[in-house]
Structure 1
Amino acid sequence: MVASQRTRDLCRTVRLKSTQVFIVAGTCLITVLITLLCIGFMTRYEVENEVANVADVDYWKDRVAALQKIWYDKGIEELNEALRTPSGPVYPRNLRIFVVQGIDGRDLATHRFPAREISQGNVNFVWDQYSHLARLKNSCSQRFPCPVGGLSRAFWTGIPLEKSVEMETECKQMDNQTDSLMSVLRQAQLAGLRTGFVTTQRLTGSTGAALYGNSLYECDERMPMGFLQSGCQDVARQLISGETGKALNVIIGGGRQMLSKLVPQTQFDPVDELLCQAGEGRNLLKEWRNQKLKQSKIRPIKFDLIQRTDELESLNASRYDHLMGVMANGDLSGNPKAPSFKLMVEKSLEVLEGKKQGYLLIVEQVREKGVNSRRQLQILNDTLVSLPKDRDTLTLVLFTNGIYPKPSLDISEETETISYLSEIFNEEEIRLQERLQQMPSESLLFAQGPRSTLFVGLRNETYLAHAIAHVLSMSKLVAKL
């Protein structure tokens, strides 16, 4: 009986220990399975999100020559940078768009790898480090000279060049806004963003006309009498009276002679006789100031109108709601005392960032005749380098090159083109090659920041406006956060 009891106790003990063994073994097995699953998920995450460290990847270091290994190591550094996924918001709060007119990929390549006698090696511009690059088809390659107004509308309104050219013969009355083209600038304003436009050209040039105007004529002097009588407005008038122009927080550039009949003339800033001049009695600068005074009576705003470099330099721009700077009678290139490109951009950003609100800033740099394009690129590069780093900002740099018509009082583009034909077919081969090199090439668009992934591949010119419109629609939500 005693033996039987002992046997039962022993069985219970063994059974209990077996259960404990199974529990421990099961726990270990589950732990191993969970660990393997975690490793699998982490590996898949690294592959999908490109955060793997390629420095650990073997590239046959023991087989390549010593000199080759040096360059492979440098390449690995670049790959690490390319695979590093930046953290930050999915959509930007701010957009900065820099447009360089008259410089294309050939110029970039030339000055990135200049002649040995003037350089110690290749030059890396800051936009070369941007994460994404797209090419935009250049419709001007099929036209000579390029209808620059239509090209600008393609970029900023999303209307194809051929359709835009058809619209140029139409007269749009500003009191009928339903048929007016809406540029990305106006879309940004409707999305609640602050907006600005800076140009080294005149404010009434092709880019300005596409952003806030719907007219072929920069000022009233050139507009046909029938158009004036029917209520059509020139670009200068639309800048001051149009909904987009009135809402601009920053506007800096040249073109004083289009805005006012009486302008100061000095040896540094003469009136450009080849450009349009305001008609008798016009003073749109005064109208702009009076307009802001009326607004300030309804809602307090701080604004200023400046016309000299020293005024811009001493300005505490972050305090202002609206700033207008007209720094030359014609293009800024005609006034050697005009403010620097960098100063205009910095002060514009101070205004736009001062209210802690999302913004869109469009900056245009036009290649000056007689100025080395290398110098122009260096100015742009230095300006971009000096910008504050902001993970909430999408920065675009667009290089575009069309054959732009010369401003002329009595020679039409068509007549000018015909006059070149006999010269083209009789000149030497080397000159023909030079002309071919000057033909418009595809525009290059460098992108950095949230949603820069939209700007890749070969796209139509109109894609720029469409992609920006999408970003603006989402930035409206980001700006409210």
Structure 2
Amino acid sequence: MVTTQQTKEICEIIRLKSTQVFLVAGTCLITVMVTLLCIGFMTRYEVENDVANVADVDYWKDKVATSQKIWYDKGIDELNEALRPQDLTYPKNVRIFVIQGIDGRDWAAFRFPTSDASRGNTNFIWDRFPHLARLKNSCSQQFPCQVASVSRALWLGIPLDKVPDNQQDCGRLFNATQGPISILRQAQLAGLRTGFVTTQRITGPTGAALGNANGNFECDESMPLNSIKSGCQDIAQQLISDETGKFLNVLIGGGRQMLSSLVPNTKYDPVDEMLCESNDGRNLLKDWRNQKLKESKINRIIFDLIQRRDELESLNSSSFDYLMGVMANGDLSGNSKAPSLKLMVDKSLNVLTKYKQGYLLIVEQFIPSGIDKREQLQLLNDTLVNLHKDQDTLTLVLMTNAIYPKPSLDVSEETETISLLPEIFNEAESEIQKRLHQMPSESLLFAQGPKSSIFQGVRKETFLAHAISHVLSRSRVRP
């Protein structure tokens, strides 16, 4: 028989286990309740504060038609991209592509094919850049307006009406202890490698502004005698002998007839009689080579001077510290054997990325009248598509029509056109289109990469230089 004592022990054990079971069950129940409450609070917070992933908020998609859903799904991808948190880092490299001769109307029209409608929308790569700014054309309110002043506003950050007239007493300007410096020189001072590539001549308005060149005379032939006596140098001389030009790691473009006298005049690369021709017996190409030879005796450097496409194609450019290429007597459009934009950009980037220290590359594509603009835009698009995808690189594409009219200050081109509407619409269709095309238009600036978000809104021309200067100051190479 079970004794009374044994019965008591059995009851205590059962009571103890019942308590443990109750505690465990209670704990599980409380855990489940707390979890459900947390889920409820988080769901309500996400809905009220829009922190949920758009792709997860699909309740509204069930309400749209099937024919809409495919487009809404694509739109969600774009929204997710737009809602992605902005990168707080600064770029290590900056690439700027400047297209002279294209404006918003051209770009919008050439996006669509003309012959094969089945191809649909052929968006260019810059269509996918996340940020876009418009740069005002204040040149249309200046009289007279010089293209050189526009370039200085873009690359030096000085308003058009404040840009000094460098043709007046330029000897005093050359002897000044401190003058304005371009973003190219700022990048050099920040320890970045630098390059300038152009399909125009390197002594053009863009090259002159980037090289901090004073005066508007591309070579000695165009300089008045009193300017030479006052101590002026032409733009070609300054690009080779001044600090900015000396430290340029890459300089490729046209303009041989400004740099040297008695250049070869061939069928495929004729001398451009509309441009300046040096006649003082100079050979600035030889001077550049001698300059680098002298430098290499102090610090070993690898450099080369090339003047033909085949030389550039065969060049192992990744081993060079400095590269200069003068590929035409005038602009590259005048040389049927000039290298492609893609080839020049690829070789330039090989030079600039040699030491992994960061770089600033400025590429100018000049599209003169009479050239197939659609084809040129496609070449630029192909060049950008094939660039190395670098998360540390800020890429900008600036499009301007390069048309700078000279209206009077009290009558703009637009108001003058409106006042003449009856007469204008009696003109031939071709004349109307020409008049509309030659109206001043703002420049478009597309941006992608670290800190591309600062390029937004409608800005003055000077904003480009100010924004790049800020980026360069934070991208400074530290020893």
TM tier, smaller: 0.7 to 0.9
- 1:213-263 superposed Cα distances (whole Å, 9 cap, x missing partner): 122111111112122122221110110111111110000000000001121
Determine the C-alpha separation between the residues in 2 that align with 1:165 and 1:281.
31
Cα distance in 1 between the residues matched to 2:333 and 2:117: 26
Aligned residue number for residue 61 of structure 1: 62
Runs of 5+ unmatched residues, structure 2: 1-11, 409-415
Contact residue 154 and residue 461 of structure 1 kept, 8 A: yes
* Alpha-carbon distance between aligned partners in 1 of 2:116 and 2:235, rounded to the nearest angstrom: 47
Which residue in 2 is equivalent to 1:371? 371
In the alignment, structure 1 residue 162 sits paired with structure 2 residue 166: no
Question: How many angstroms does 1:57 deviate by?
Answer: 3.2
Cα pair 1:401 1:443 within 8 Å, conserved: yes
Equivalent in the alignment of 1:4: none
What are the within-5 Å matches in structure 2 for residues 264-303 of structure 1?
A: 264-303=264-303
Inter-CA distance 273–298: structure 2 relative to 1 (3 Å threshold): same
Answer whether contact 1:402 1:439 (CA < 8 A) is retained: no
The code of the aligned residue for 1:271 comes to: V
TM value normalised by structure 2: 0.84
- Where do residues 405-416 of structure 1 align in structure 2 (5 Å cutoff)? none
Match of 2:152 in 1: 153
Alignment match, 1:189: 188
**Matched residue of 2:273: which SS?**
coil
Letter in 1 for 2:156: T
Cα distance per residue 1:402-457 (max 9 Å; x no partner): 3259xxxxxx999xxxxxx9xx9877434245312321211100000000010011
User: Measured at CA, do residues 246 and 62 of structure 1 come closer, stay the same or move farther in structure 2, by a change above 3 Å?
Assistant: same
Call closer, same or farther: CA 1:34–1:325 in 2, change over 3 Å.
Answer: farther
Describe the shift of the 1:343–1:175 C-alpha distance in structure 2 as closer, same or farther (beyond 3 A). Answer: same
List structure 1 segments (4+ residues) > 4 angstroms apart after TM superposition: 23-48, 116-119, 143-146, 165-168, 172-175, 424-428
What is the CA–CA distance in structure 2 between the aligned matches of 1:241 and 1:413, rounded to whole Å?
38
| 8 A Cα contact 1:91 1:451, kept in partner | yes
- Counterpart Cα distance in 2 of 1:91 and 1:182: 22
Paired residue secondary structure (1:323): strand
* Matching of residues 248-259 of structure 1 within 5 Å: 248-259=248-259
Distance in 1 (CA, whole Å) between partners of 2:169 and 2:36 is 72
Native 8 Å contact 1:172 1:214 kept in 2? no
How has the CA–CA distance of structure 1 residues 172 and 458 changed in structure 2, closer, same or farther, with 3 Å as cutoff?
Answer: farther
Report the equivalent of 2:107. 108
Separation in 1, partners of 2:330, 2:220: 16
Listed one character per residue, the Cα deviations across residues 104-142 of structure 1 (whole Å, up to 9, x for unaligned) are 110011011344656631211000011111111111333
2:360 is paired with a residue whose SS is strand
Deviations 1:333-362 (A, max 9, x none): 000101011100000000001121100000
Task: Write out aligned runs for 1:289-368 (5 A).
Answer: 289-368=289-368
CA contact (8 A) 2:250 2:324 kept: yes
Unaligned runs of 5+ residues in structure 1 are 1-8, 406-411, 415-420
Q: For 2:464, what is the secondary structure of its paired residue?
A: helix
Q: How many residues align?
A: 454
CA distance in structure 1 between the aligned counterparts of 2:169 and 2:41, rounded to whole angstroms: 65
Q: Is 2:377 the counterpart of 1:403?
A: no
State the Cα distance separating 1:59 from its structure 2 match: 2.8
* Contact preservation (8 Å) 1:138, 1:442: yes
2-structure distance, mates of 1:444, 1:168? 31
Of 35-44 and 267-276, more deviation after overlay is shown by: 35-44
Any idea what SS the aligned residue of 1:221 has?
A: helix
The corresponding residue for 2:471 is 471
Distance 1:71 1:326, change over 3 A: same
Q: Is the 8 A contact 1:156 1:210 kept in 2?
A: yes
> Cα RMSD (Å) of the superposition?
3.6
**Amino acid paired to 1:76:** I
Amino acid at match of 2:449: G
Change (3 A) 1:389 1:150: same
Identity %: 60
* Worse-superposed segment, 379-388 or 144-153: 144-153
Q: Secondary structure at the match of 1:61?
A: helix
1:172-208 Cα distance to aligned partner (Å, 9 max, x none): 5575353422100000000000000000000000000
Residue 445 (structure 1) aligns with: 445
Asked if residue 211 in structure 1 is aligned to residue 216 in structure 2, the reply is no
1:302 aligned partner, one-letter code: I
Is the Cα contact below 8 Å between 2:265 and 2:271 reproduced in 1?
yes
- Relative to the length of structure 1, the TM-score reads 0.84
Change (3 A) 1:41 1:109: same
Deviation digits for residues 295-328 of structure 1, max 9, x if unmatched?
Answer: 1111111111100001100000011110000000
Distance in 1 (alpha carbons) for counterparts of 2:323 and 2:45: 51
Equivalent residue number for residue 233 of structure 2 = 233
